Copies of this chain bind each other. A is one copy, B any other.
């Protein structure tokens, strides 16, 4: 009988399980996303973890992400903002699963100053992980953003998540690129052209007039000889630039911006923030997720 614990990140599109022995990750197993299995979540989980159960029962299993959504395995509540890590951890739903203590971490809910409510499920684990990994984030006022399909801009003060706002910039970009008359509809061939378009989109976003700057992605191809690569970069730069223009007021008083997630996208956000004179730094998304689940050792597996 080997003593071990299991932690896992189970989002819409994939399940990732990590086996921890004596403070180290010794194995990893991947399974289907919660979006693909829905109500059959328990069976999918049992399948994925099965080989590890041959030599014993884990001391604990801790899962985060959409596994705790209404359409997931077992619904986990939302912790209300402002929330610190301890409150959030207490809000997890816990039950016995085949002799092991299983916890599904809570999501977070908040109501903005403007009265708009918001929710997240999965990202909070990365944010609390970042706070655990980086003592500099535990005090002061920081803006943490997780760029992706639905960007979560979160205001953290003295170790508590005060509020956050979802900005669906990534989803909007994908719609404009793939489904609209503005996207280039071509395979990209010239990264330099795309980067030039990105820079021009950022610049155009200066006055935050998104709607009246969108059509330029098409008109500049028709009338000014710009390429499809340029147009794609332009749309990306315009959207990210407008997003940051909108968030500028929230930024005031923050000690800086921390980006968590995909390296390439984080670099784009860093460029956009830099264009407005805002310092940022990037943290690794996987490391933050694992830290949020309680593992702060070396990432070796």
Residues of A with Cβ closer than 8 Å to B?
109, 114, 116-119, 150, 153, 165-169, 171-172, 175-176, 179-182, 204, 208-216, 219-220, 222-224, 239, 242-243, 246-247
In the complex with contacts A210-B242, A223-B109, A180-B169 CB distance below 8 A = no
Are B219 and A119 in contact, with the CB atoms below 8 A? yes
Contacts of A242 in B (CB 8 A): 210-211
In the complex with contacts A211-B243, A213-B116, A171-B181 CB distance below 8 A = yes
Most B CB atoms within 10 A — which of A109, A116, A176? Answer: A116
Give the residue name and chain of the B residue nearest to A152 (CB).
Answer: B215
Which one of B172, B179, B181, B239 lies within 8 Å of A168 (CB-CB)? B181
Are B117 and A220 in contact, with the CB atoms below 8 A? yes
Cα distance, A182 to B223, chains bound together (Å): 33
Copies in the complex: 2
Are A211 and B246 in contact, with the CB atoms below 8 A? yes
Are A117 and B246 in contact, with the CB atoms below 8 A? no
The 4 lowest CB-CB distance pairs between A and B, nearest first, are A117-B223, A166-B215, A209-B246, A116-B216
Are B119 and A214 in contact, with the CB atoms below 8 A? no
Are A150 and B117 in contact, with the CB atoms below 8 A? no
In the complex with contacts A220-B117, A222-B119, A223-B109, A167-B215 CB distance below 8 A = yes
Are B166 and A182 in contact, with the CB atoms below 8 A? no
Cα distance, A215 to B165, chains bound together (Å): 8
How close is A96's CB to chain B, nearest CB, in angstroms?
Answer: 30
Cα distance, A73 to B153, chains bound together (Å): 50
